[in-house]
Amino acid sequence: MVRFLTAVVLSVMVFLGPAPAKNSADDKVSVPVLVYHRFGPAVADGMTVTTSVFKAHLQWLQDYQYTVIPLRTLVDHLRGQGPPPPPKSVVICTDDGHISVYTQMLPLVRQYNIPVTLFIYPSAISNASYAMTWDQLRELKQTGLFDIQSHTYWHPNLNKEKKKLKPDAMQKLVETQFKKSKAVLEQKVGGQVDLLAWPFGIHDDYLGQEAQKAGYVAAFTIERRHAGPPEAIMALPRYLMVNADGAKRFEAIITGRAQEKGPKTY
């Protein structure tokens, strides 16, 4: 009788397969990734966050005991190569390479001693009047608080380019944007460049595959929600920050209660 019951149990186990693993707390980790663009004493355009508002954001995070972590910490975990971020983690990025990152953001980054990831498109550096210089970027890198990553080479609208170009020309453009940006940043600033921020948040499966071929391990959109499983590693979301993100809106973003629809300017 015992042998008969044992055989039945084993048969049922084989049919049903192994019991599903229970979800761990690590599987549910999600982190708000904030992306800023420009800073200044007054709002100059839709992408400017005043220095006073940015300081208020950092002070709120400190007051409520949030930890600003390197973006790499989050990426490594999502790739299965590192431990989960600590509770109440936040990531801070900027896109483009505007001069105000050096003049306005840097003093506050030093004051609050937080890590920041800069997504840079190299064609503007030491070239456009609004952008930082290579010396300034290297100085930021040397503080140990800034990580320099790619925002393509000249920030094209890849949807518009796809409509204008033939497939071969589009392929060449995409390869140039991904590979040249990576190569120039690694040569000029040093470090490993393998993270990408999509210009205008534009991405698709083809672009994601090409970015991976070029050596990128993760890429970021401007879709407004926390980053974590089950997001695609080449389309991780970020919150696009604007000056209207005062105390109540900022709290809603950090705590995951913000609406997914956000500012339309970029």
Q: How confident is the model at residue 29 (pLDDT cuts 50, 70, 90)?
A: confident
Alpha-carbon gap, residue 69 to 235, rounded angstroms: 20
Domain boundaries of the chain, sorted by first residue: 27-254
pTM over cut 0.85? yes
Assign domain 27-254 to a CATH class: alpha beta
Can you say whether the dihedral through the CA atoms of 89, 93, 180, 234 is positive or negative?
positive
Q: Is the per-residue pLDDT at 16 higher than 70?
A: no
Q: What percent of the chain has pLDDT over 90?
A: 84
Q: What's residue 261's pLDDT?
A: 63
Q: What's residue 22's pLDDT?
A: 37
Q: Is the per-residue pLDDT at 1 higher than 50?
A: no
State the chain's maximal CA–CA distance in angstroms: 86
Q: Is the per-residue pLDDT at 67 higher than 60?
A: yes
Averaged pLDDT, 112-126? 98
Alpha-carbon gap, residue 88 to 60, rounded angstroms: 12
Two tokens at 178? 């991904």
Residue 139 CB partners (closer than 8 Å, separation 6+): 102
Q: What angle do CA 40, 201, 114 make, to 5 degrees?
A: 45
Two tokens at 31? 């982190």
